[in-house]
Amino acid sequence: MANTELFKTIAGKFVPPTTGTNNAGAAAYTFDPKHTLAQYVATGTLGGTFYASARDELDSVLELVKEVEPEFVAKAAIYSREKGFMKDMPALLCAWLSVTAPGLLPVVFERVIDNGRMLRNFVQIMRSGVVGRKSLGSRPKRLVRNWLADHSEDTLLRASVGNSPSLADIIKMVHPKPEDEVRDAFYGWLIGRDVDRDKLPALVRDYEDYKETGQGRPPAVSFQMLASLDIGKEEWTEIARNAGWTMTRMNLNTFARHGVFENPEMVAMVAKRLADQDELRKARVFPYQVLSACVACGDELPGEIREALQDALEYSLEAVPALGGKVYVCPDVSGSMGMPVTGYRAGATSAVTCVDVAGLVAAAVLRKNPEAEILAFDYDVVPLQINARDSVLTNAGKFGAVWGGGTNISAPLESLNSRRAKGDMVILVSDNESWVDADSAHGTELMRQWSLFKRRNPQARLVCMDIAPYNTTQATERDDIMNVGGFSDTVFNLIDIYARGLLNEEHWVGVIEGVEL
């Protein structure tokens, strides 16, 4: 009789040999260049990860863009911004296109550089020299000038907050031609030139008057322009009254500290804003950012505000599909998942970790699919009591409590196979850096376990949802396996389409290829 241990990997559907190693040193399947770039544009924040530094991440992207067509880079930049809601990565790709494929830059620029923050990112990256030049060049300068001309003074005033570079720096670089005396005075004011005050936009005049006198209502400018002044509760209340959704989310504790919520009318107004589904969609917020706000709530915040944030969290997950059939969600709670989800960034590292995001995904899928089963794992499946009737916030918070250990991504499937479980979809949420199960004789252990699962469940599908920018997977792409990365609700939409068998054979990369230029 043949050695069953030696030949066990041929059970079920053929398990292909691995093609590389992951960052933990274990055998893995290497993504092709397009899929790898897709992974970076959806999850890469250029902030460093558990296994790679920020510089490593940047160098990887700059090498990848050389291996694919410029048209795919352009589509990836648009996808990254419009669907992935990323900031640094799409700006980097725009900067690269300005040098390598300048003819593609205008259409990408219009769709990616959609606010002042993105404009500053683009210019900062261009000036850094990482894409091969330290000046903007004639075409990018023209695009920046057009961007400035297309936006109102009020919009540009809000965009003027921020440095490295500031909007004033950008104006000095590109020398925009003012269309009238008001715009001429406004540009002059931004760069610190003496101007005729009567010709300034009304909002700028109001701001200057308020700075000088401290009298009257604070003008509707960015709160950062007012926060440096000596202002009190009344002024902070006015700031909160005029704030947008994202600014409100990020400053709830600040508002509370300055007495804003001592006014019941303001409590009701802010709670209504936070729970406004239209405002939430317009803000293009990640679910994990709402989770972060929920967790960061100070004791002084009113109950109505806390409840509104929980409502906002539920609304932010409205794209989570009801999948049908038996679903298993397997969040990775191993040690490497303790890294900040946006990477390590000096002075701006998120308190939300990859474990938090994995737990949020599991809790959200359970919310829409109450019969789903959750199998958290590190070395092995981790016992965890999750009640489908509990709120997403309550369930998501349970995963961080069991975080730690090595990564064994095949553990959930091994557990399911040991009890001969039936199922229609398995969703793994991980950084994909499995190493505990690295002794498989052929292929990865995850692929072997998946093949065994498929013998009982021939129509089942596997989704590997990756939330870190690496270039390998433990389950190679094929018709019954989809690898997808990202934090936005677009991922849930793709899972829904995939579950219904409506994605083309290229899966996620095919979606990016479908972006129209």
- What CATH number should be reported for the domain holding residue 424? 3.40.50.410
Give the chain's domain count. 3
pLDDT of residue 223: 78
pLDDT of residue 350: 66
The residue among 343 and 226 whose pLDDT is bigger is 226
Question: What are the structure tokens assigned to 405, written together?
Answer: 């250990």
Question: With contact defined as beta carbons under 8 Å apart, do 474 and 464 qualify?
Answer: yes
Verify that 92 and 216 share a domain, yes or no: yes
DSSP structural state of residue 360? H
Please give the average per-residue pLDDT across 1-12, as a whole number.
48
pLDDT of residue 468: 85
Please give the average per-residue pLDDT across 384-395, as a whole number.
88
Task: Return the percentage of the chain with pLDDT > 70, whole number.
Answer: 95
Query: Which of 178, 206, 221 is a domain's end point?
Result: 221
Please give the average per-residue pLDDT across 311-327, as a whole number.
90
| pLDDT(115) > 50 | yes
Locate tokens 């330290």: which residue?
134
Query: What is the pTM (predicted TM-score) of this model?
Result: 0.88
Q: Does residue 109 form part of some domain? A: yes
DSSP structural state of residue 31? P
> Which amino acid makes up residue 499?
A
Verify that 167 and 291 share a domain, yes or no: no
Please give the average per-residue pLDDT across 361-379, as a whole number.
93
pLDDT of residue 45: 74
pLDDT of residue 490: 85
Verify that 362 and 506 share a domain, yes or no: yes
pLDDT of residue 228: 75
Taking the C-alpha atoms of residue 324 and residue 185, their distance in angstroms, rounded to an integer, is: 61
Query: Please, which pLDDT band fits residue 1 given cuts at 50, 70 and 90?
Result: very low
Question: What are the structure tokens assigned to 414, written together?
Answer: 């091994």
Taking the C-alpha atoms of residue 323 and residue 209, their distance in angstroms, rounded to an integer, is: 57
Question: What are the structure tokens assigned to 96, written together?
Answer: 């690269």
All residues at 6 or more sequence positions from 340 whose CB lies less than 8 Å from its CB, including other chains: 47, 349, 350, 351, 352, 353, 354
Task: Output the average pLDDT for the chain.
Answer: 89
- Identify which of 75, 91, 35 has the alpha carbon closest to the alpha carbon of residue 512: 75
Residue-wise pLDDT for 415-454, tens only, equals: 999 999 999 999 999 998 999 998 765 799 999 999 999 9
Q: Does residue 493 form part of some domain? A: yes
Query: Please, which pLDDT band fits residue 12 given cuts at 50, 70 and 90?
Result: very low
Range of the domain at 91: 34-82+86-221
Q: Does residue 237 form part of some domain? A: no
Taking the C-alpha atoms of residue 242 and residue 244, their distance in angstroms, rounded to an integer, is: 7
Please give the average per-residue pLDDT across 64-73, as a whole number.
96
Q: Does residue 504 form part of some domain? A: yes
Helix axes 116-128, 105-112, angle to 10 degrees: 130
Verify that 286 and 337 share a domain, yes or no: no
Segment of 87-101, 200-214, 305-319 carrying the highest mean pLDDT: 87-101
Residue-wise pLDDT for 146-168, tens only, equals: 999 999 999 999 888 888 899 99
How many angstroms from the chain centroid is the CA of residue 40?
11
Q: Does residue 213 form part of some domain? A: yes
Verify that 343 and 198 share a domain, yes or no: no
pLDDT of residue 284: 84
Taking the C-alpha atoms of residue 238 and residue 226, their distance in angstroms, rounded to an integer, is: 11
**From 129-133, 327-331, 448-452, the region with the lowest mean pLDDT:** 129-133
DSSP structural state of residue 2? -
pLDDT of residue 306: 94
Query: Please, which pLDDT band fits residue 90 given cuts at 50, 70 and 90?
Result: very high
Query: Which of 265, 295, 316 is a domain's end point?
Result: 316
Q: Does residue 239 form part of some domain? A: no
Verify that 298 and 366 share a domain, yes or no: no
**HSE-CB for 484 with a 13 A CA cutoff:** 29
Verify that 152 and 190 share a domain, yes or no: yes
Verify that 259 and 193 share a domain, yes or no: no
**From 5-14, 273-282, 341-350, the region with the lowest mean pLDDT:** 5-14
Please give the average per-residue pLDDT across 100-119, as a whole number.
95
Query: Which of 188, 221, 254 is a domain's end point?
Result: 221
Verify that 390 and 451 share a domain, yes or no: yes
Query: Please, which pLDDT band fits residue 194 given cuts at 50, 70 and 90?
Result: very high
Verify that 197 and 104 share a domain, yes or no: yes
pLDDT of residue 324: 87
Residue-wise pLDDT for 457-504, tens only, equals: 999 999 999 988 888 999 999 999 999 988 787 888 889 999 988 888
- Identify which of 159, 119, 163 has the alpha carbon closest to the alpha carbon of residue 141: 119
Query: Please, which pLDDT band fits residue 348 given cuts at 50, 70 and 90?
Result: low
Verify that 62 and 193 share a domain, yes or no: yes
pLDDT of residue 486: 84
The DSSP bridge partners found for residue 484 are 465
C-alpha torsion sign, points 263, 292, 495, 507? positive
The residue among 235 and 267 whose pLDDT is bigger is 267
Q: Does residue 235 form part of some domain? A: no
The residue among 360 and 48 whose pLDDT is bigger is 360
Q: Does residue 293 form part of some domain? A: yes
Taking the C-alpha atoms of residue 121 and residue 108, their distance in angstroms, rounded to an integer, is: 15
Verify that 206 and 117 share a domain, yes or no: yes
The residue among 284 and 465 whose pLDDT is bigger is 465
